[in-house]
Structure 1
Amino acid sequence: MTGLLDRFRRLPDPRRRQGRRHPLAFVLTLAACAVLAGAKSLTAIAEWAADAPDQVLSWCGGTLRDPD
């Protein structure tokens, strides 16, 4: 996982600064994991990410969720 994350960290982020919530490398790594797990649409990727355990989010370069 770290190899993929490191590769994605080297990519330039084409997004405008305003509105960014998460680093591009995290978003791409999380999306890649979701697709490998069978997600076939943006909605399925988002649902997979929402259900991902904190440990998976951490492996993908994210931070732990805030308990609501």
Structure 2
Amino acid sequence: EEKAKIIIKNSELENSQVAETINNYGLSHSEVKEVARDVVTQETLNKPNVYIQKEEPVDAKLGDIWYKIEE
């Protein structure tokens, strides 16, 4: 629980810093979306896909994670 509170607090601080940067540079909505898309693409480049489904995924690659849903 304490770790979750710390993570939430850090996330709030990071979000505050992002908002301040956007305001300071006068970025438009479309510019912010483009930058966010680039950041997400870069940060998830080598991350495994996570599948949560009943059937084993057919397009999974080595390192991907599958959580099987049981009925």
**TM-score (normalizing by structure 2):** 0.33
Higher relative contact order (CA 8 A, sep 6+): 1
Between Structure 1 and Structure 2, the one with more strand by share is: 2
Q: TM-score, normalization: structure 1?
A: 0.34
Larger Rg: 2
